[in-house]
Structures are given as C-alpha cells and as structure tokens.
Amino acid sequence: GRGQHSAPSGSERSVVGCNSIIAMWYLLLLAGLAAASAPAPEPSFKERRLQYIVTNQNLHVDKLFDDIKSLEKKFSKLGGDVDLKKVRHIKARVSNLEGDGCEGEHEAQCGGDVPECISDLFFCDGHKDCKNGGDEDPDTCSEAIAHVGSSYTGLASWSSCEQHQPHHAVVVITSSHREDDFQPRILVKGVLTLEVDEESHIVKTTQLSGYYNFGQRELVLDPFGEKTTGNYGVRCEFNLGDDDHADCEIVIPSSLHVCAHFNAERH
C-alpha cells in the first residue's frame, strides 16, 4: 500500500483511510492470537446427549441395512426369473404339439387369438389376407433368416442313405433375392457342408438353391449347379419361436426321403 501513497498525487484523505485499515488488521491479528491460546470450551451435556442419540440412530440404520443385505442374499438364492427366450421356446414347442389346424399342404396359420389358415402364397405380399393382419406382421415377415452370411449348424445324425457317425452339418446362405411381383418367398442360394471325418478333415460340400417360405417359416434348399459333390437337399423349419433355431433335415430332393436330422443353431 505504501508505494501507492508515496505517489505525488496522494491526497490527505486517502492517507488517513489507509492508516485506519492497517490499524484494523493489527487488531484482528491480536484477537486471533488471543483466541488461539485460550482452551476450547467443553461441549455441554445437552449437546453430548444429542450426539449420543444421533450416533445411536446411525447404528440402527446400519443394522437395518445389514438385515436387508442378508435378506437380499437369501432372495437371490431362490433362483431368478425364467429367461424370456426359454419361455418362447417352450410356448413354441407346445404349439408345435398342438398343431396349427391347417389342412392343405400350402396353408399356414395367421396366429393370434382366433385361429385362421390362409395360403402361404399370400404371406408378406403387402396385402392383408388374415382377418387380424397376421400374414403381414413384421415379425412374421422378418427377412433375418435368409440374410446373406447366415449360417446354421448342428450335429447331424443319419438314419439312412449314409453310414456316417454323427458329425457337424453347416448350412450357409450365400445369396438372397426377392422378386418384386411375388413377395411371399425369398429366393436363396447356399452351401451345405458335411464335416464327415474329423480326423482326416474330409468335408463334403453341396451347392444349394431354394427359397424361404414366410408362411411356413421354412427354408427349402436343393442341390444346384454342376460342381456339386453331394446330392442332398436341406429343409429347415424355424419353429422354435425365433430366427436363430431350426429343426433341419437332410433329404433326398426328389422324394424328400429323410436321411439325417440336425437341430440347427445360428452362428
């Protein structure tokens, strides 16, 4: 402060003000020193009692917290809710056993509360044919199953046609296309791979061509092309309530005679 007031422009008034501020700081400093040297006052009995009660209450809350924790532990040991996927699978299996009540080869169920069958030539063609619109439902018309790159794998067990031990079978979708004027099918091409011998890694592959049928939720693939080494077709029914699991058969294309069976899962 001093340097500022040594300036020639300093007036009488400001010099007085400055002096009084310095005096005040000095007094404050003295008071602070006095306070520091004095002993802290004992808390009164009343205050201690209050502290006692507060501490007590906190301990009480802590105990409740522990009780709740052990209750939660007990509860978690009771087993969780059932996985929604599992529920869907079970519902699908039950409804498979119930049957859909559709008679004709080409009829499929509309779903919903009131049973109704319509031709699978009318599913997902943009025209509502079911009374409840079930044939144009976005879930029903999901193209996910026939997406290029989709692959379905399972352990094939042969009941006729070949003498193979159970081995892996893989179906891979390599192309898919939907005609503008006829939407109820997705035309697909794919490859069937049979890992016949695990030791020598002999793999049989068959080029496939076929379609996905929205109404029946069925993927139908037959051998195609000249470079084919096998002569089997594949039929997969996605009847487990989602797009990731199917019930597949390896068949002789001409007669649809079932040679082998595998439960396929998307990979």
Partner 1 sequence: MKFLIVVLVALASVAWADEKCDILTRLKFKSQWNRAYSHGHSREDFAEAIWRAIFAQAPSARDKFKRVHGEDTSHPAFKAHSLRVLAGFDIAINLLDQTDALKAELDHLEEQHKGRNIPDNYFDAFETALLHVAPAQLGRCWDKEAWKECTELIIHGIEGH
- Residues at the site binding partner 1, with contacts judged by CB under 8 A: 104-107, 119-122, 125, 127, 129, 179-182, 184-185, 211, 213, 220, 222, 233, 253-254, 256
Q: Which is nearer to partner 1, 196 or 238 (CB)?
A: 238
State the CB neighbour count (10 A cutoff) for residue 27: 9
What token pair was written down for 261? 């069976």
Backbone angles phi, psi at 132, to 5 degrees: -95, 10
CA distances to 27, 42, 66, 119 from 37, rounded to whole Å, are: 16, 15, 46, 100
Q: Which is nearer to partner 1, 71 or 256 (CB)?
A: 256
Give the nearest distance from C-beta 215 to partner 1 in angstroms.
10
Rounded Cα gap, residues 67 and 138, in angstroms:
49
Rounded Cα gap, residues 190 and 200, in angstroms:
25
Give the nearest distance from C-beta 110 to partner 1 in angstroms.
14
Q: Which is nearer to partner 1, 107 or 244 (CB)?
A: 107
Q: Which is nearer to partner 1, 241 or 253 (CB)?
A: 253
Give the nearest distance from C-beta 92 to partner 1 in angstroms.
23
Q: Which is nearer to partner 1, 154 or 233 (CB)?
A: 233
Give the nearest distance from C-beta 236 to partner 1 in angstroms.
14
Residue 43: DSSP 8-state? P
Contacts of residue 37, defined as CB under 8 A and 6 or more positions apart, other chains included, come to: none
Q: What is the three-class DSSP state of 243?
A: coil
Q: Which is nearer to partner 1, 143 or 198 (CB)?
A: 143
Q: Which is nearer to partner 1, 121 or 203 (CB)?
A: 121
Instruction: End-to-end CA distance of the chain: give it in Å, rounded.
Output: 81
Give the nearest distance from C-beta 131 to partner 1 in angstroms.
13
Give the nearest distance from C-beta 119 to partner 1 in angstroms.
4
Give the nearest distance from C-beta 106 to partner 1 in angstroms.
5
Strand 167-177 vs strand 185-197: parallel, antiparallel, or unpaired? Answer: antiparallel
Beta strands in the chain (DSSP E): 107-109, 117-119, 151-158, 167-177, 185-197, 202-213, 218-223, 233-237, 245-252, 257-266
